[in-house]
Each structure stands twice: as C-alpha cells, then as structure tokens.
Homo-oligomer: A and B are copies of this chain.
Amino acid sequence: MPTNIGTGEFKPADAGFEARVRDSFNRQPAMHLIGAVLATVKPGLCEVEMPRKPDVTQQHGFVHGGIVGMIADSAAGYAAYSLFPADATVLTVEYKMNLMAPADGDRMLARAQVTRHGRTLTIVAFDVFAEKSGKMLHCATGLATMMCMLGRPDAPRTAAS
C-alpha cells in the first residue's frame, strides 16, 4: 500500500513521553469536539483515530477535508512532541497535505512518523486513511514542520506554579 511514512527509529529524550503526549492530547477541547482519540504513541510515531459522525462531514457526506487536516496535524505534532525533552512544548510551523480520495469510511486513521528530528525543527510525514468495510483507503498524505519550544512546559501553569 502506498504510504509516505518513514521507518526511522528514535530514542525519546524523556522516558515519560507517552504519558506526556496523552496528557497534552487530552487537554485539547478541539479533539474532543470532533471525537478524535489518541490510538498509538511510540517514539517519533503517533496515530489518531476518529469515528465518522454526521457532524464532521461536508456536503457530500464524507468527512470534511478540514477535519482530515485536523487529525493529521494533531498526529504530526504529537509524533514530534514524543521526542522532545519534558520541559518543552510543540508548535506547528507549517504543513502541506494532499487530499487524494474522499474520506469515505466509518473510521478515520491519521498516522504520523518523524522523518528527521533536529534540535529546533522536526520534520514529520503523515498519512490519513479511511476504513470502510475492513478496507483501508489512503485519503491524504502530507509533510509537517514542527518546532520545539524549550523551557515552555506544555501543561498550563497553575496559580501555584
């Protein structure tokens, strides 16, 4: 199956990366709004899943291309973030996505994998698939540039901090 995902292996800077990624994802109301969940977190790899519900569709009944971009951007950001030090947060510098087929399925899967991890910038390749009747349709492919912001914890600071 065509995919533009890399096969790199990376060592995380922070052993607690998975809990950190899951905690950050869960603090994003926009992910809850569209019903996206974090399926897989490995060093430099992240998968975000989302069931197709009527309220995330466009005028033809497929999942909206913007929603496809949302889960792709999210997966890409967390693939990068998984490799960052604990005391850092992630910013999306830019992304480019080709929508190759209608997002026609009961479930969407965005898979992102780091292509190159640098100190400041991390490049991530991602793909989005629609699952229908057990088959995976390759809907979208893209590349993202993520930035590591050192010394800016991802978690919100409380009054006590």
A82 at the interface (CB under 8 A from B): no
* Closest Cβ–Cβ distance, residue A32 to chain B (whole Å): 7
Q: A64's closest neighbor in chain B, by CB?
A: B30
Chain A contacts with B in 85-102, Cβ cutoff 8 A: 89, 91-101
A69 at the interface (CB under 8 A from B): yes
Contact A154 B95 (CB under 8 A): no
Contact B58 A30 (CB under 8 A): yes
User: How many copies of this chain?
Assistant: 4
Q: Which residues of B contact A89 (CB under 8 A)?
A: 60
The 7 closest A-B pairs by CB, nearest first: A66-B70, A30-B64, A2-B8, A2-B6, A96-B96, A4-B4, A27-B59
A3 at the interface (CB under 8 A from B): yes
* Closest Cβ–Cβ distance, residue A27 to chain B (whole Å): 4
A116 at the interface (CB under 8 A from B): yes
Number of interface residues of A (CB under 8 A): 66
- Contact partner of A93 (CB less than 8 A), chosen from B64, B93, B95, B115, is B93
Contact A33 B30 (CB under 8 A): no
Q: Which residues of B contact A115 (CB under 8 A)?
A: 2-4, 98, 100, 138, 141
- Contact partner of A57 (CB less than 8 A), chosen from B7, B29, B71, is B29
Contact A98 B145 (CB under 8 A): yes
15 additional A-B pairs beyond A93-B99, A93-B145, beta carbons within 8 Å, are A2-B7, A4-B143, A29-B64, A30-B57, A30-B66, A30-B67, A65-B73, A91-B99, A94-B94, A95-B97, A98-B145, A100-B116, A120-B147, A125-B141, A141-B143
